[in-house]
Amino acid sequence: MGKRLPDRMSRPWLSMEEGPRTRKSWTFLSNHGHVLVCIAEDPGIRTRDISDQVGITERATQTIIADLVEAGYIRRTKVGRRNHYEIEPNLPLRHSVEQPNSVGDLLELVARVEAEASS
C-alpha cells in the first residue's frame, strides 16, 4: 500500500485522504498525471519525494516514470547522481476525450489553479 499524505497539504487535489465513509477520495488525475505535475514543478525531484507527494510507493513511481519516458512525455538525463527530467509539452493527452489538449495545456491549467489558490 502507498504512503498516506498529511491531512493538510499545499495541493489538496493530490490528496488520497479518507472520505466520510472511510473510502478513499477519488481524484480527476491519475497517478501518472500526479507524477507529471510533480516533475513539472521540480524537474530535479527525487523519486522518493514524488512518491511521498503522490502517496504511492517508490516502485510505483519508478514504473510511472518509465511509462512516461517510454511514451516520450518526459526525457530523463543523469546529472551527477540525480536525474533531471524534461517534459515534452506539445504531446497530446492520451485519452480520446482529452486529445484536443496537450500535456502543456494540462500543466498550465494546474499551475494557474495553484497560483490562484495561493493568492
For 17, 27, 45, the CA distances from 12, given in Å and listed in that order, are 9, 10, 19
Instruction: Look up the pTM and report it.
Output: 0.76
89 within some domain = yes
Give residue-wise pLDDT tens across range 48-96.
Answer: 999 999 999 999 999 999 999 999 999 999 999 999 999 999 999 999 8
Amino acid at 106: L
- What single-letter amino acid sits at 13? W
Contacts of 104 (CB under 8 A, 6+ apart): 87, 89, 90
Number of domains in the chain: 1
In a domain, 6, yes or no: no
Cβ atoms within 10 Å, residue 119: 5
Q: What is the pLDDT of residues 43-54, one digit of tens each?
A: 999 999 999 999
Per-residue model confidence as pLDDT tens digits over 17-51: 544 555 667 888 999 999 999 999 999 999 999 99
Domain for residue 5, yes or no?
no
In a domain, 7, yes or no: no
Tell me which residue range forms the domain holding 81: 12-118
Q: Is residue 37 part of a domain?
A: yes
